[in-house]
């Protein structure tokens, strides 16, 4: 039987602060420059605006121009496109990771852990449900930035997923935590951990070093890019995950638990 493999094209950009048109044009150039077949293209958190606390001014609906653009790009390149966007839904604002398939079908995950240090919780509503998708038999759990600090939310209960995917705007000053926690999530969940971040400075003067990374299911470093914008494609395979879980049955010994809704 042929190996189950999946390509991730990871875009680590210098996001133009709150300039949607310029950012979308930049991503179009990145995609046009990829000279191999794309399967899943990953853009960072709030990829059209940067990490902005101005949803009243910047939010779009699910039938707004950014989602339409995502659908158009997914259809054009025959790939899945994902990243988070500021969305208004039923009068509430969400930091929403959107997953768009080539046929236009979509799913989404609303960021569960809002970054109180930057008052994100004052402007956005938290999500309540995880999103796990499957592509070619490889299951992916989709999360956003600050979620990385909360291992219980990411815990691989009942071997539900093979890949943890985080999109982020994670500042350079805390890059050690970013890299360390991504590696820890891979180790403790016996799956790939992929984190896609940004570089440059945002409108608040906060610097980002990128450090977009891929770790294997035993925590082995596979790829990392620090300090510069990049578009890079990596291939992961399910057999690597299965071998790790066969050799080390740590997940079978995990505590059983349930997660209660936030009050």
Active site residues: 45, 111, 145
Residue 248's CB: how many other CB atoms inside 10 A?
13
DSSP output for 87-101: EEETTEEEEEEEEE-
Strand ordering across the sheet containing 230-237:
106-110, 92-100, 80-89, 40-42, 5-12, 230-237
Could you count the other beta carbons within 10 Å of the beta carbon of residue 239?
12
- CB-based contact 211:198 (threshold 8 Å): no
> CA separation (Å) from 126 to 87, 108, 110, 115?
12, 13, 7, 10
CB 214 within 8 A of CB 193: yes
Query: Residue 11 and residue 47: Cα distance in Å, rounded?
Result: 10
**169 three-state secondary structure:** coil
Taking each helix axis as running N to C, give the angle between helix 65-77 and helix 20-32, from 0 to 180 degrees, rounded to the nearest 10.
10
d(CA 236, CA 242): 12
* Contact between residue 203 and residue 14 where contact means Cβ atoms under 8 Å apart: no
């Amino acid at each position: 039987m042929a190996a189950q493999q999946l390509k991730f094209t990871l875009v680590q950009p210098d996001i133009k602060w709150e300039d949607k048109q310029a950012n979308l044009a930049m991503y179009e150039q990145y995609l046009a420059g990829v000279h191999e077949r794309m399967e899943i293209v990953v853009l960072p958190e709030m990829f059209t605006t940067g990490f902005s606390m101005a949803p009243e001014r910047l939010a779009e609906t699910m039938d707004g121009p950014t989602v339409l653009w995502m659908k158009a790009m997914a259809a054009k390149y025959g790939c899945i496109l994902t990243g988070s966007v500021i969305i208004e839904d039923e009068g509430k604002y969400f930091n929403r990771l959107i997953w768009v398939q080539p046929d236009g079908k979509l799913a989404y995950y609303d960021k569960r852990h809002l970054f109180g240090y930057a008052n994100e919780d004052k402007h956005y509503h938290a999500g309540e449900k995880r999103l796990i998708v499957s592509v070619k038999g490889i299951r992916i759990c989709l999360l956003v930035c600050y979620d990385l600090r909360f291992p219980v939310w990411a815990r691989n209960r009942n071997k539900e997923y093979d890949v943890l995917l985080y999109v982020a705007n994670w500042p350079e000053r805390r890059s050690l935590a970013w890299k360390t926690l991504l590696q820890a999530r891979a180790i403790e969940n016996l799956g790939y951990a992929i984190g896609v971040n940004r570089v440059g400075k945002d409108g608040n003067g906060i610097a980002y070093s990128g450090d977009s990374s891929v770790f294997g299911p035993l925590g082995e470093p596979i790829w990392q890019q620090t300090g510069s914008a990049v578009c890079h494609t990596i291939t992961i395979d399910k057999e690597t995950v299965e071998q790790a879980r066969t050799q080390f049955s740590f997940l079978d010994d995990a505590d059983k638990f349930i997660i209660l809704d936030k009050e």
